[in-house]
Structure 1
Amino acid sequence: MSYLNNKIVIITGASSGIGEATARKLAHLGATVILAARSENKLQKIVDDILSEGGVAAYQPTDVTDQNNLKDLIEFAIEKYGRVDTLINCAGVMLFSMWENVKVDEWEKMIDLNLKGTLYGIAAVLPHMKHRGKGQIINVGSIAGHAVGEGHGVYSSTKYAIKAITESLRKELSVKYGIQASMVSPGVISTHWQDSVTDDDVKHILDKMNTVAINAEHVANTIAFVVNQHEDVLINDVIVTPTRQEW
């Protein structure tokens, strides 16, 4: 049975990678999707594709590091569709580097996007879901939030934090208000994330990881499974990795 028909789903980080694949997948399965990211041109193209295939979609240019942008995003969805059923916090960046190279600017960027961006999304949607007495918050974590590897230090720290946030949401919001809080943790995905890495000392790590990478569509399928649950059912943490990934 599908619970996706007419479900109103917001997806951050939806202009590329896992976010884009998830938006396309959910729209194909009958959900109404609102795509959020900084690149309006990319969002427009994806929404046009979804509409041309018979799906229902809209977009809102959004910088998740700006708390007011997240508030505007939630208000946009409510004004256009009357409610928000699901928020998928997918925006993020993965910038591997060695500690000794002290990439402080990149550390701050990951903290702002991965951690603060998720918190701002939760803060924006929570009053609405609490008032309704239901809703879903799905945080996209990482296998790096379960195991730390060389060059992963700060990135893993942000994803371990997402794990803690999601567990705390479950203990408070799921029990008190019926809000489903889940986390999906991908392994190595071929989303060109390595193009943003500036530390040459980790290039060998990236090269090895990318030999086993899987497509973002596989993660989108997993996220769709989590979204497609009855409001009385909570999927906790799901890890989805390449079969040949060794960690």
Structure 2
Amino acid sequence: MADTDTSQIRGQVVAVTGASAGIGRATALTLAGRGASVVLGARRGDRVEQLAAEIRESGGRAVGMPADVRRRADLVRLLDTAVAAFGRLDVLVNNAGIGPVSPLEDLRVDEWDDMIDVNLRGVLHGIAAALPIFRRQGTGHLVTVASTAAYRTVPGQSVYAATKTAVRTVCEGLRQEVDDLRVTIVSPGFVHTDFVNAVADPDARAALLARRDAMALDPTTVADAIAYAVTQPDRVDVNEIVVRPTAQR
């Protein structure tokens, strides 16, 4: 992947969901470091506000606030804050996601519901909040973090993979409907985050932690992929990026 053109991101306004840790945090730091103004949302409001403060102390422009993607009003408030603080919204990075994976026969129905609410409904809430702003401006870029689970289902990840497959389908439909806007899906493989801590079964969690520590990508790798898509010329729409460890099959 070629180096990104910093001039293409400098001065842009980017909102990031799930920005308190992992890929979201890395994306915020990467884009802010290249000159973007960032508006950061996450359920852990204290952490995201601290991240925004760190970016400002380093000379960047950032606002952090609590935002739960399961609540549409939170997404509207997050994006309205971007416009109020910085005058516009150029990019929404729909990053928030969870993965308490388990075999279907474990019947962890509450966890299934949570994955649907965060991973799928949260993306739809982001689209619903962003499109009116993009339409008023006549420009905008929606970047959604999916997963390689959208391309390959493995035992124990049926519901998680279903949500990511659905997100990929929604974003592809959106891309075809809004040919004057840009729509990008970034699908990471195994990334070194706290994702696996949500797995309830201790043996399954230990196995995933071992795999993560053996081969997972640093979150900045995914942030760089997002930056690549965002920094392309206006007439270029990078539709899908799949990035995974070389050892992952």
- Aligned 1:16-95 pairs, distance under 5 A: 16-95=21-100
- Once residues 22 and 134 of structure 1 are traced to their aligned partners in structure 2, the CA distance between those partners, rounded to angstroms, is 21
* 1:65–1:116 Cα contact (<8 Å) kept: yes
Counterpart code for 2:196: Q
Could you say which residue in structure 2 is the equivalent of 1:117?
122
- Selected match of 1:234 from 217, 226, 237: 237
Please report the TM-score for the alignment, with normalisation by the length of structure 1. 0.95
- Selected match of 2:16 from 11, 15, 22: 11
- Aligned 1:134-149 pairs, distance under 5 A: 134-149=139-154
Could you say which residue in structure 1 is the equivalent of 2:220?
217
- Once residues 229 and 183 of structure 1 are traced to their aligned partners in structure 2, the CA distance between those partners, rounded to angstroms, is 14
* 1:98–1:199 Cα contact (<8 Å) kept: no
Counterpart code for 1:192: D
Could you say which residue in structure 2 is the equivalent of 1:156?
161
Question: Deviation at 1:208?
Answer: 5.2
- Once residues 94 and 217 of structure 2 are traced to their aligned partners in structure 1, the CA distance between those partners, rounded to angstroms, is 21
Structure 1 residues 87-125: Cα deviation after superposition (integer angstroms, max 9, x where no partner): 000001011100110110000000000000000010011
Deviates more, 1:209-218 or 1:232-241: 209-218
Q: Percent identity among equivalent residues? A: 38
Question: Deviation at 1:194?
Answer: 1.0
Question: Deviation at 1:60?
Answer: 2.1
Question: Deviation at 1:204?
Answer: 6.0
- Once residues 170 and 207 of structure 2 are traced to their aligned partners in structure 1, the CA distance between those partners, rounded to angstroms, is 28
Please report the TM-score for the alignment, with normalisation by the length of structure 2. 0.94
* 1:145–1:157 Cα contact (<8 Å) kept: yes
Shift >2 Å, 4+ stretches: 199-205
Question: Deviation at 1:49?
Answer: 1.3
- Once residues 9 and 231 of structure 1 are traced to their aligned partners in structure 2, the CA distance between those partners, rounded to angstroms, is 15
- Once residues 36 and 20 of structure 2 are traced to their aligned partners in structure 1, the CA distance between those partners, rounded to angstroms, is 18
Q: Unaligned 5+ residue runs, structure 1? A: none
Question: Deviation at 1:228?
Answer: 0.8
Question: Deviation at 1:180?
Answer: 0.2
Could you say which residue in structure 2 is the equivalent of 1:191?
193
- Name the SS of the counterpart of 1:234 in structure 2: coil
Q: How many residues align?
A: 243
Question: Deviation at 1:205?
Answer: 4.8
Closer, same or farther: CA 204–42 of 1 in aligned 2, 3 Å:
closer
- Selected match of 2:204 from 196, 202, 205: 202
* 1:77–1:84 Cα contact (<8 Å) kept: yes
Question: Deviation at 1:242?
Answer: 0.8
Q: Superposition RMSD on alpha carbons, in Å?
A: 1.2
Question: Deviation at 1:207?
Answer: 4.2
Counterpart code for 1:40: G
- Name the SS of the counterpart of 2:40 in structure 1: strand
* 1:96–1:202 Cα contact (<8 Å) kept: no
